[in-house]
Amino acid sequence: MSNTPRPQFLPTPCPPDSPIPPLIFTSTSPIGDQKIEEAIPVIQCPADFPLSIFEEAAMLLVNHPEYNSTLILRSELIATYTSPPFPPSTPQIKGYEPTKAYYRKLLPRRPTRDASLEQLCTLYTKSPDPHELEDMKTQGSEDDPLYTTPTLLVLTPLPSPSTPLPYYHPQVSQISFHLHPPSSPTLLISLLPLPPTSQNDQDPTNPSSRLHRTSLSLLQTLHRYLHGTLTSYKKRTAHDLLIPRDEYQDLYGVMRERHKGLVEEWREVTDPLKHVFEDIGIATYLMLLWKDTFPPEGEEQEEKLEEEPWKKWGRPPGGFLDLGCGNALLTHILLSEGYKGYGIDVRARKSWDGYPESTRERLVVGGVDPLALVGSCEDASRSCEDTPSPSSSDQNQINTILNTPQMFLIANHADELTPWVPVLSTLMDSSGYISIPCCAWAFDERFTRGRGADEFFEEPSSLQTKDARELQRPNEQSLSSFITSLSLGSEGSSSSSYSSYRIWLAGLSGWCGWVVECDNLRIPSTRNWAVVGRKKLPTPPEQTLERAKSIILQTKERGLFRVRKPEGKAGEH
């Protein structure tokens, strides 16, 4: 990637005496009347970029309108035109020829509030006038990029008859983005506003108007895209690695509507908007992950499946277990949607009393002791008194749950239990797990780089990833490839403690026999990286089981691990 510094964004209103001629749009009515409209140049900025990158940068606007408006979910491409004939709705512009057109639909983030909108996105190249054409032939410059490279993008909304444009779209009939070459390269936006009405009386040349502010935002976005294209910018954080974006967004919209009322019912002191929608997002992700991982369930009634298609989707054969479930909102949402499972935490929360009985009976108070899965207290260097004891009924239920085969483990910011998730998954014959780490814990102490955390298992540089090669110590390039495959985002190396911790966790997953898969979830949290185990490596099961047991035995020998004690009135639930 180039280290070219980003040029300063210096927008100015388009002056009335600008040397750049305004765009002239022509159209013909069904009865043959010709209409000529002159676009209003609104705002411009210097843009010393090569013409050849305009199309690539403009396609980011076409493909990702959601980057510039939080009210837009995404766009769906309906048709692509790369040569004539172009659609009848293609604008005719004096001095320009259409070269490509993309017919798309804009999908709103809140479909109950805003309507979708079809839109035509057209790329144009400049057409030489007769004198320019003659000069080009004389000079042998017919391939001049000024006349062969798209430098103009026009967005044309196509609302249904008598239907107003949705709020998220400017009240215009055309939006144009123009990279004007070459002596004084300028990027500018021009508009064809709709006729003024009582709801639409904005002057785009007025800096305080919504049209002007929208134009400024779009200009800055395209200016940024041009620089990114020039420097081969690549997003630091990759999303949708395991679950397609469109599937996730569509289901999330449904889940949000079904569970948004939980915000009003929130009983904790924490921010309900963050926690409710974060857990709705994680539940959505899990539902689609399980659909992709496990075979479909038996058929439900057809009319019910139309409203709730996930009722027949695949799900973990042994249900799920939410370790350190906290407010149990994630557990509640999954249970409400027909998934079987449990939530365990060292104390009950205020929220628990507000859930229906069907959820409360699936919430268990107590600590999870990984060391109890191998041997007994007498075999350990610690005494039994060190292990807190919740009520015997709760402890019996915890033991029963932990002995359920094919259960899927969920660890969302599970703190001390985070490193134990792949180990427990191997020992329990789990159907898989997802871990979204936050605080960095090793097996019996805080994780610290270079402090012997790897003494329990081979360091990540010796582990295989998805390619399922035989275990061997690869060279440094292999380690680099392993780290790259983890999608660590802007901290994509071992330079930070959190990155080192995630690399360590991924290495541990492979050591315990799981194919390492990672993703960055679309949730409102800075700690949105997840490691997923749902497929087994070809390593013999007895070998990975022995490794998991070895980690437990070594932890016992150190004698430092303590199960977190139930807090407050936890034992009374």
What domains can be seen in the chain, in order of their start residue?
12-231 (no CATH), 245-373+393-461+475-558 (3.40.50)
Comparing 437-446, 472-481, 536-545, the range with the smallest average pLDDT is 472-481
Long-range contacts, stretch 411-415, CB < 8 angstroms, 24+ apart: 411/323, 411/324, 411/435, 411/436, 411/437, 412/282, 412/322, 412/324, 412/330, 412/436, 413/324, 413/326, 413/437, 413/438, 413/439, 413/527, 414/323, 414/324, 415/324, 415/439, 415/441
Q: What are the pLDDT digits (tens) for 130-163?
A: 666 666 555 655 567 778 899 999 999 999 888 8
Residue 421 has pLDDT above 80, yes or no: yes
Distance of CA 294 to the CA centre of its chain: 23
Residue 28 has pLDDT above 80, yes or no: no
Average pLDDT score over residue span 82-97: 93
Q: Which two tokens stand for residue 471?
A: 């275990």
Residue 2 has pLDDT above 60, yes or no: no
Distance of alpha carbon 331 from alpha carbon 312, whole angstroms = 19
Comparing 130-134, 191-195, 435-439, 555-559, the range with the smallest average pLDDT is 130-134
Q: What are the pLDDT digits (tens) for 444-477?
A: 889 887 654 455 565 444 443 333 333 333 344 4
Mind spelling out the 3-state secondary structure of 150-181?
Answer: CCEEEEEECCCCCCCCCCCCCCEEEEEEEEEC
Q: What are the pLDDT digits (tens) for 371-397?
A: 887 753 334 333 333 434 445 566 778
Instruction: Look up the pTM and report it.
Output: 0.79
pLDDT of residue 249: 94
Average predicted confidence (pLDDT) for the chain: 84
Residue 509's φ and ψ, nearest 5 degrees, are -60, -45
Which segments of 223-380 are extended strands (E)? 320-323, 341-345, 363-365
Residue 33 has pLDDT above 70, yes or no: yes
Q: What are the pLDDT digits (tens) for 58-81?
A: 999 999 999 999 999 999 999 999
Pick the more confident residue, 265 or 458. 265
Pick the more confident residue, 184 or 114. 114
Q: Which two tokens stand for residue 570?
A: 């936890």
pLDDT of residue 472: 32
**Which of 10, 67, 16 has its CA nearest to residue 187?**
10
In this structure, how many other beta carbons lie within 10 angstroms of the beta carbon of residue 230? 19
